[in-house]
Amino acid sequence: MSNDLLARFNEQEQQRYQKMLRLRERGIEPYPRRAARTHTAQQAIDAFTRGETVQGARLAGRLVSLRDMGKLTFGHLQDGSAKIQLMIRKDVVGADAYAMLLKDFDLGDFIGAEGDVIKTKTGEITLQVARVELLAKTLSPLPEKWHGLKDTETRYRQRYLDLLSNEEARQIFVARSRIVSAMRKFLDEQGFLEVETPVLQSLYGGAAAEPFITHHNKLDQDMYLRIADELYLKRLLVGGFDRVYEISKDFRNEGIDIKHNPEFTMMECYQAYGDYTTMMTLVEGLYAACAHAAQGTLQISYQGNALDLTPPWRRATMRDLILEACGVDIYKETDMTSLRARIEELNLQVERHPTWGKQVDELFSTFAEPTLIQPTFVIDYPEEISPLAKKKPDNPRIVERFEAFAANMELGNAFTELNDPLDQYARFM
């Protein structure tokens, strides 16, 4: 090791380095090539719980706690599946191995442990260790065990530390993976074809957001990272596919907060020959499948709210929701003058907007949206704020569009696609 690198080590890293050298001097390779393992921690626990006798199980993972009681030591080993207690007795593993464990192993080291699964007198399922081995010596100490890692910068920039010390972070990764996989399975079974469309686009569209700009050197041309997949997916319908979807990373050069990230994942799907009621059925079924996969139930708890995702979800028109929430009937106040008059008559505290459609949307988000806790399809939006949706047959000011809400959060957006080229042309003139 160069002196440069050694000098950068802090006290604890120096100590761990010395332990590693000691192990090597005794002929123990601190970084062996592979580890034989017969069970993950979860598999060992599950097998024992089922009543099976688990003997000579070989586990591998990080040593995450150690409680030395003299001739007996307890600890925990954590692998990708779970955490399991280790019980290490000096008289079982032998004096040399026991001393090595206590002197030269550190929290955070990857170790292999072989033994029988038992239950201690406090009832915890535990590996009674007959043999331990080092799988990889770590030089950096782990974050503190009790308070855990809280510094947000470290949690985000060194996500591996967050995963190691915060169980919730692990759970979120697992839930996310199950959700994405349930989404694929559900859509595949419904006859959708998964596709990938361009991330680098010469013209961006499908949403109203600032793009990230990059440059193609050989073409000497600026390109944009996509802000949405919509336009390319629709072209696949034109090309003859009836049902397509894409799970994609998209990029928006906008503000960052708890619900917004410049780089984010979304799913878009398009289905021919149906309308927005078809999509509502699809969406509630999709959420139900994802919730079942991630939580095993459709009764979920989110930020203090008990949510029931069981289909069918409530459907309510934007008009009725606004009327209930603040007493304005947007089907009566159909122009800016009468809408403003009604708002002033009721003395509503609401931000002003230049057009009727935007003013209606503002009334909705100010008064109606906060009331939407249980899953709800808000249907029938103003045409002005939905330029790609088909108009209602009986009301040209309103289009067949919905947004799904739950726990005051938007879950999705869809509409009966406008496929009349003359109407579409007229709307952009």
**Residue 105 or 243 having the CB closest to RNA:** 105
- Binds RNA (CB under 7 A): choice among 5, 36, 69, 238: 69
For residue 22, the minimal CB distance to RNA (Å) is 10
For residue 68, the minimal CB distance to RNA (Å) is 4
- Token reading at 295: 């939580």
Q: Please tell me whether residue 15 binds RNA under the rule CB under 7 A.
A: yes
- Binds RNA (CB under 7 A): choice among 2, 53, 152, 349: 152
- Binds RNA (CB under 7 A): choice among 5, 96, 156, 394: 156
Secondary structure (DSSP) of 181-197? HHHHHHHHHTT-EE---
**Residues facing 126 on adjacent strands:** 85, 118
Percentages (nearest 5) of helix, strand, coil residues in the chain: 35, 30, 35
**Residue 243 or 415 having the CB closest to RNA:** 415
User: Quick one: DSSP state of residue 139?
Assistant: -
Q: Hey, how many other C-beta atoms are within 10 angstroms of the C-beta on 33? A: 6
3-state secondary structure 266-293: EEEEEECCCCHHHHHHHHHHHHHHHHHH
**Residues facing 417 on adjacent strands:** 389
For residue 130, the minimal CB distance to RNA (Å) is 14
Non-local (6+) Cβ contacts of 119 within 8 A are 48, 125, 126
Provide the H-helix boundaries in 191-270.
Answer: 230-238
Q: Please tell me whether residue 85 binds RNA under the rule CB under 7 A.
A: yes
- Binds RNA (CB under 7 A): choice among 41, 44, 60, 87: 87
- Token reading at 284: 């509630």
Residues 209 and 254 sit within 8 Å (Cβ to Cβ): yes
**Residue 99 or 272 having the CB closest to RNA:** 99
Q: Which amino acid is at 311?
A: P
Residue that has been written with the tokens 């996310």 in this structure: 176
CA distance 37 to 83: 15
Q: Please tell me whether residue 248 binds RNA under the rule CB under 7 A.
A: no
Q: Binding pattern to RNA, positions 408-427, x when CB under 7 A? A: --x-----------------
Secondary structure (DSSP) of 342-395? HHHHTT------SSHHHHHHHHIIIIIGGG--S-EEEEEEEGGG-TTBPEETTE
For residue 250, the minimal CB distance to RNA (Å) is 7
Q: Please tell me whether residue 378 binds RNA under the rule CB under 7 A.
A: no
Specify the stretch interacting with RNA by CB under 7 A; choose among 120-128, 166-174, 332-340, 419-427.
120-128
Q: Please tell me whether residue 70 binds RNA under the rule CB under 7 A.
A: yes
Q: Please tell me whether residue 358 binds RNA under the rule CB under 7 A.
A: no
Q: Please tell me whether residue 68 binds RNA under the rule CB under 7 A.
A: yes
Residues 317 and 380 sit within 8 Å (Cβ to Cβ): yes
Task: Tell me the Ramachandran region of residue 27: left when phi exceeds 0, alpha when psi lies from -120 to 50, beta otherwise.
Answer: left
Q: Please tell me whether residue 106 binds RNA under the rule CB under 7 A.
A: yes
**Residue 275 or 410 having the CB closest to RNA:** 410
Q: Please tell me whether residue 95 binds RNA under the rule CB under 7 A.
A: no
Q: Please tell me whether residue 3 binds RNA under the rule CB under 7 A.
A: no
Our CA dihedral for 381, 382, 383, 389, rounded to 10 degrees, sits at -10
Q: Please tell me whether residue 386 binds RNA under the rule CB under 7 A.
A: no
- Binds RNA (CB under 7 A): choice among 38, 55, 120, 297: 120
For residue 353, the minimal CB distance to RNA (Å) is 10
Residues 229 and 222 sit within 8 Å (Cβ to Cβ): no
- Binds RNA (CB under 7 A): choice among 30, 262, 285, 311: 262
Q: How many residues interact with RNA (rule CB under 7 A)? A: 58
For residue 207, the minimal CB distance to RNA (Å) is 4
For residue 92, the minimal CB distance to RNA (Å) is 8
Q: Please tell me whether residue 304 binds RNA under the rule CB under 7 A.
A: no
Specify the stretch interacting with RNA by CB under 7 A; choose among 150-158, 235-243, 275-283, 333-341.
150-158
For residue 11, the minimal CB distance to RNA (Å) is 5
Binding region for RNA (CB under 7 A): 10-12, 15, 19, 65-72, 74, 85, 87, 89-91, 103, 106-107, 120-124, 126, 141-154, 156, 207-210, 252, 254-255, 257-262, 264, 410
